[in-house]
Structure 1
Amino acid sequence: MIAVVGLIIGIILGVAFNISFPAKLSPYISVAIFACIDSIFGAVKATLKKDFRADIFISGFFGNAFLAAFMVYLGDRLGIPVYIAALIVFGQRIFNNFAGIRRLLMDRIKVHH
Structure 2
Amino acid sequence: MIGFAFAGLLLGLILGVYCPFRVPPEYARLLAVAVMAGMDAVLGGVRASLEGNYDTQVFISGFFINGILTAFLCYAGNLIGIDLYLVAVLIFGMRIFQNLGIIRRLYMGK
Sort the Cα spacing of 1:92 and 1:6 in 2 relative to 1 into closer, same or farther, 3 A. farther
Q: Percent identity?
A: 41
Q: Return the alpha-carbon distance in structure 1 between the equivalents of residues 18 and 46 of structure 2.
A: 25
Q: Offset of 1:55 from its aligned partner?
A: 0.2
* C-alpha contact 1:4 1:44 (8 A) present in aligned 2: no
1:40 paired with 2:54, answer: no
Decide which of 56, 59, 62 is 1:57's aligned counterpart.
59
Sort the Cα spacing of 1:6 and 1:69 in 2 relative to 1 into closer, same or farther, 3 A. farther
DSSP 3-state at the match of 1:19: coil
Q: Return the alpha-carbon distance in structure 2 between the equivalents of residues 50 and 11 of structure 1.
A: 29
Q: Offset of 1:69 from its aligned partner?
A: 0.5
**2:15 aligns to what?**
13
Gaps of 5+ in 2: none
Counterparts of 1:1-113 in structure 2 under 5 Å? 1=1, 4=5, 8=9, 9-107=11-109
Q: Which amino acid aligns with 1:76?
A: N
Sort the Cα spacing of 1:7 and 1:75 in 2 relative to 1 into closer, same or farther, 3 A. farther
DSSP 3-state at the match of 1:20: coil
* C-alpha contact 1:4 1:40 (8 A) present in aligned 2: no
Gaps of 5+ in 1: none
Q: Offset of 1:13 from its aligned partner?
A: 2.6
Q: Which amino acid aligns with 2:45?
A: A
Q: Return the alpha-carbon distance in structure 2 between the equivalents of residues 6 and 56 of structure 1.
A: 23
Quote the RMSD (CA, aligned, Å): 1.9
